[in-house]
Each structure stands twice: as structure tokens, then as C-alpha cells.
Structure 1
Amino acid sequence: MGPTRKRDLTTATVIVAIIGFVVVSLTYRWFPPITFWTGLSLLAVAAVEVGWAFYVRSKIGDGKIGDGPGWLHPLAVARAVMISKASAWVGALALGWWVGVLVYLLPKRAVLRVAREDSTGVVVAAVSALALVLAALWLQHCCRAPDEPPEDADGARN
């Protein structure tokens, strides 16, 4: 399993943004209000992932990966990688949706009061989704194994 490719996340975001724009343009009149609080759950998950990333990074840096008291079990690191991969995709898809909604709302802000009111919530949700993508990629980066030390001329490790 390799790292999540940013190109794939970007492609998914653009595709969902286009689909989201079409869906919103057809169904916006039936939408509930989009408030400031709408996307903040994504920001909370992003904050937790950033905290976990710093913890994992410090344990890997200290060489405390293994089975023992005060050590981080390797399966916990593997689970963190899986969570980061899933979070990156969820964040990318959510970002695409909210960008599609925002592209629909921006021209309507001048004429629709509800579009002006919803714009703030949409921007917060889009920023929260972007934060989740970035936090997930950071967690994934922090879970990488450290580089092996270079070998001496006689084949012994430093």
C-alpha cells in the first residue's frame, strides 16, 4: 500500500464539484439552511488527526514502536495509516461538494438573501474539508518508517 496520491484526490474533488454544482442548481430551493456549524465536524476530526500525527511522529522519532509499556504498537500505526487514507478521501469528496455549492451560490449572492446567508456556512465547510485532507496527508506522512542508517564500507550499519 502506497501513500495517497494527491492527483487522485484532486481529480475526485473536481469531479464531485461538477456533480455538486449540477445537483445544487437543480435542488437548491429545497435545501435546509447552511449554517456556520455545518462543516465544523470535519474540522474537529482534522484537529484530532493532527494531534495523533504529532504523537506518532514523536514515538517513531524516539524509536518507541513495538510492544511494551510506553511504546506505540505497530498495528496502531497501521490503523492510523488506514484512517488517514479514508479521511483524505472523505475530505476530498466533501471539499468537492462544498466547492460545487459555493460556485453555485457566489453569483446568486447579489440577488438572493438566502444565498448570502448560506455562503458563510459553505465557506466554513469547504475550509474544514480542506483542513481534513491536509491533516490526513500529514498523519499519513508521520506514519512513515524512518530511513535506514547508511552502511559503512564494510557493510556494518552506523
Structure 2
Amino acid sequence: MRLKPTRIRELLANIAIAAVIAWVATRLAYGSFPPISTIAGASLYPVAALEAVLGFYIRARVSNSQIGADRRQLHPITVARALALAKASAQVGSLVAGVWLGFLLWIFPQRGDLRAADADYPGVLIGCGAGIALAVAALWLEHCCRAPDDPSDEPAPS
């Protein structure tokens, strides 16, 4: 069985489903939510940054043929683990972006009427951006973990 790249439409479906659920929950229970700080929304940015840097590192190693079992090479299992991290992070990032988007869709129209919505708005925007950043960084890392195409057994044309 071959591992397939993460599909963008699956991530968009995650965002849509999570946004609807979060919008309904926010509509029903916003008064009982604690205040949303900007730090709560920003918690995934460091993870996204680390995954992006890891993608550049792995990409450089793959392009220089430095993947292998030698001590000076990047072990293939390490690349496989990075790929598993990327696939999981893409799902988490899309779901988190969807939840924050659901909050945003309820909070944005309420901003002029509710002080709490005004106060929560920056944190919600930052959180939505963090989810998107994580998903994008995960897709980048996944792309960087791809094996180069195997050379064909046919001779090169002269």
C-alpha cells in the first residue's frame, strides 16, 4: 500500500465541519466561555515554525542524497517519523483553524454590541491564523519528505 499525500479538500472539509460545530457551540454557550487571550490563539505558531524549519532541513538532506543508515546521514526512519508528524499536524491544524473560524463567524458580527466579543476578537484571529499556519507548515514538511523519483531502468536517450 502506498502512502498518499494529504488532500487539500479533506483539510477544507475538516475546517468546514469544525467551523459549523464551533459556531453552534459558541452561539449556544458564548456567555459561559472564559475570555480568549491572544496567547491561547498563538500556541501553535512555534510548532508551525519548527515544522517549517524541519521541512527545510529534510529537503536539503534529500536533495544532497544524505538519507541513509550512515552516522553522517539522516536515517530514513527519521524522515518517516517527520512524515507522520506532518500528516497528523495537517489534520490538527485544519481542525483548529475550523474551530477558531467558527468562533470568528459568531464573534465578528457581535463586536459592536458585546464588549466581550471585542476583547476576544484579536485572540480568535490569531488562533485562526495559527491553525492555518500549522496546516501549511505540515503540508510543506510532508512535501519535503517525498523521496526523489527512482531512476528508470531504461537507458537515457542519446
Normalised by the length of structure 1, the TM-score is 0.94
Q: Distance in 1 between matches of 2:117 and 2:65?
A: 52
Q: Distance in 1 between matches of 2:59 and 2:21?
A: 37
Amino acid at match of 1:132: L
1:68 deviation in Å? 1.3
1:62 deviation in Å? 0.5
1:150 deviation in Å? 5.7
Per-residue Cα deviation, 1:73-129 (whole angstroms, up to 9, x for no partner): 000000011000000000000000000000000110001111001000000000011
The aligned counterpart of 1:55 is 57
Within the candidate set 136, 139, 142, 1:137 is matched to 139
Q: Secondary structure at the match of 1:37?
A: helix
The aligned counterpart of 1:75 is 77
Normalised by the length of structure 2, the TM-score is 0.94
Within the candidate set 48, 64, 67, 1:65 is matched to 67
Report how many aligned residue pairs link the two structures. 155
Percentage identity across paired residues of the two chains: 45
Q: Secondary structure at the match of 1:39?
A: helix
Q: What is the Cα-based RMSD across aligned positions, in Å?
A: 1.4
The aligned counterpart of 2:47 is 45
Unpaired segments ≥5 residues, structure 2: none
1:39 deviation in Å? 1.9
